[in-house]
Amino acid sequence: MTPVSWIATFDRVGRNHDVAPLELRCDDPDEMAFAIYNHVRRFLASSDIEVVVDLEDNPHATIFCGFNTGGSAALRKVGPS
């Protein structure tokens, strides 16, 4: 299976609204979540960070910090890598 390229565009991460988009070259939600986690953790004060990726009808990622929402990202498919 050929990896697919996606662009993650962040609405916000923590209190930061200026987080650069991230290009993802994978099609596995767990790999995408790990890449997004590595991209956003420097913007978050919490050490309890979890990223959940949903690729169904409206592809998106949700960032959790403990019991709070730490941000979100829209995911857009841009083609094979």
User: Can you give the residue ranges of every domain in the chain?
Assistant: 4-80
For residue 77, the model assigns a pLDDT of 92
For residue 50, the model assigns a pLDDT of 97
Q: By CB neighbour count within 10 A (0-12 exposed, 13-18 middle, 19+ buried), where does 15 fall?
A: exposed
Q: Token match 């996606």: residue?
A: 6
For residue 79, the model assigns a pLDDT of 77
Q: Starting from the edge strand earliest in sequence, which strands make up the sheet with 4-13, in order?
A: 22-25, 4-13, 68-80, 60-65, 49-54
For residue 36, the model assigns a pLDDT of 97
- Encode the chain (81 residues) as per-residue pLDDT tens digits: 566 799 999 999 999 999 999 999 988 999 999 999 999 999 999 999 999 999 998 999 999 998 899 999 999 999 775
Radius of gyration of the chain (CA): 12
Q: What is the pTM of this model?
A: 0.89
